[in-house]
């Protein structure tokens, strides 16, 4: 989460106080100068990020970088000073930051995300000729992808959703969410960013990971029914969140990714599921279940999961069939 005191500067106002969009009062020169001013480099950089999640992640990561290295939160002066460093010094600072993250025993994914935020800011500044160095020599950490893609069996997941009281408002919401997570193998963000207008009869319009435009996914009868029942009690305008918080503190606000995670954990605990569950674990479970059902049809599984690379589904299938274990057994039989 971004620190509540972290300032994200408004790039819509030029140094003279007039709107950048007001072309009758601003020359192209003043607009160009404002975009490379100390505050605007930061603000415009964040605006370039595709999703709100990426904006928050990068803002938080860059704030952590400056706090760790200087003791002060990110601000225009700190950014300008960093971007003006000689190449050797800049690389040394970032490498030192990476060493600190390693000492904190953070996961490779977390470290790589924070490094990616810094690299992205530097690349943006370089394009504007506001930075004279590159961080290409700062290597990311190697990450083992999908260490456990097994998830849980369909009968276990069935126990989780059958425990939901679908006569209550909260139960109708939770059941619709859990059906989407399983039936369409949606990612956490693909669920939480949905609006009411995105549900249209027999399909749902979602924003896939790394994409800008929405794309349609077809819905099973059970999924459509669950969503229809939820909307019958949810109400609201088309532009409002499809899934909202129901607790007193945040009632009516968009359901957060964290709350979605708590929901899955709570239902798993209630069903005595030993494996730690999360929305992504449900996704793993759904994909693996389909591969079992289709005897390893990775091409169809890709249409379900929305993975960019077919190789990712091959990893799922290999893990599902325990290919490595079978290979080791055959080798063992030779000696």
The phi, psi pair for 307, rounded to 5°, reads -65, 140
Average pLDDT over residues 236-262: 94
280 is catalytic: yes
Choose the CATH number for 154-326 among 3.40.190.10, 1.20.1440.130, 1.10.443.10, 3.10.150.10: 1.10.443.10
187 is catalytic: yes
Domain boundaries, the chain: 1-143, 154-326
Which is the catalytic residue, given 173, 188, 208, 283? Answer: 283
CB atoms within 10 A of CB 144: 7
211 is catalytic: yes
Sheet holding 199-200, edge to edge: 199-200, 203-206, 215-218
Q: Give the dihedral sign, CA 105/107/108/112.
A: negative
183-238, pLDDT tens digit by residue? 999 999 999 999 999 999 889 999 887 777 888 999 999 999 999 999 999 999 99
User: What is residue 66's predicted lDDT score, i.e. its pLDDT?
Assistant: 93
Average pLDDT over residues 241-249: 94
pLDDT at 242 over 80: yes
253 is catalytic: no
Which is the catalytic residue, given 98, 281, 307, 319? Answer: 307
Which is the catalytic residue, given 124, 187, 188, 284? Answer: 187
Alpha helices in 198-271 (DSSP H): 221-234, 257-270
- Whole-angstrom distance, CA of residue 93 vs CA of residue 122: 13
330 is catalytic: no
pLDDT at 328 over 80: no
Beta strand extents in 163-296 (DSSP E only): 199-200, 203-206, 215-218
Which is the catalytic residue, given 119, 254, 280, 320? Answer: 280
277-322, pLDDT tens digit by residue? 999 999 988 888 888 888 888 888 887 877 767 677 676 766 676 7
Average pLDDT over residues 109-131: 91
User: What is residue 41's predicted lDDT score, i.e. its pLDDT?
Assistant: 77
Q: How many residues does the chain have?
A: 335
User: What is residue 317's predicted lDDT score, i.e. its pLDDT?
Assistant: 67
């Amino acid at each position: 989460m971004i620190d509540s005191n972290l300032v994200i500067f408004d790039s819509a106002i030029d140094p003279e106080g007039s709107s950048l969009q007001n072309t009758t009062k601003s020359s192209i020169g003043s607009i160009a100068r404002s975009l490379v001013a100390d505050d605007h480099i930061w603000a415009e950089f964040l605006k370039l990020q595709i999703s709100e999640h990426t904006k928050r992640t990068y803002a938080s990561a860059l704030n952590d970088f400056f706090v760790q290295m200087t003791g002060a939160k990110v601000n225009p002066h700190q950014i300008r000073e960093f971007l003006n460093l000689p190449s050797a010094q800049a690389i040394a600072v970032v490498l030192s930051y990476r060493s600190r993250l390693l000492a904190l025993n953070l996961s490779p994914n977390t470290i790589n995300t924070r490094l990616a935020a810094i690299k992205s800011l530097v690349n943006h500044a370089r394009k504007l000729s506001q930075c004279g160095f590159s961080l290409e020599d700062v290597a990311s950490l190697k990450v083992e992808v999908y260490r456990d893609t097994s998830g849980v069996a369909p009968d276990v997941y069935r126990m989780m959703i059958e425990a939901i009281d679908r006569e209550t408002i909260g139960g109708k919401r939770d059941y619709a969410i859990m059906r989407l997570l399983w039936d369409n193998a949606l990612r956490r963000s693909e669920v939480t960013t949905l609006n009411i207008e995105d549900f249209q009869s027999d399909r749902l319009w979602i924003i896939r990971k790394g994409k800008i435009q929405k794309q349609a996914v077809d819905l099973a009868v059970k999924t459509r029914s669950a969503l229809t029942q939820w909307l019958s009690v949810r109400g609201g305008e088309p532009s409002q969140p499809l899934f909202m918080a129901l607790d007193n503190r945040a009632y009516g606000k968009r359901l957060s990714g964290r709350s979605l995670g708590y929901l899955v954990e709570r239902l798993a605990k209630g069903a005595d599921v030993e494996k730690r569950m999360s929305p992504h674990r449900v996704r793993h479970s759904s994909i693996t279940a389909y591969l079992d059902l289709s005897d390893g049809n990775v091409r169809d599984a890709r249409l379900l999961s929305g993975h960019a690379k077919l190789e990712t589904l091959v990893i799922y299938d290999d893990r599902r069939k325990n290919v490595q274990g079978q290979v080791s057994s055959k080798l063992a039989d030779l000696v």
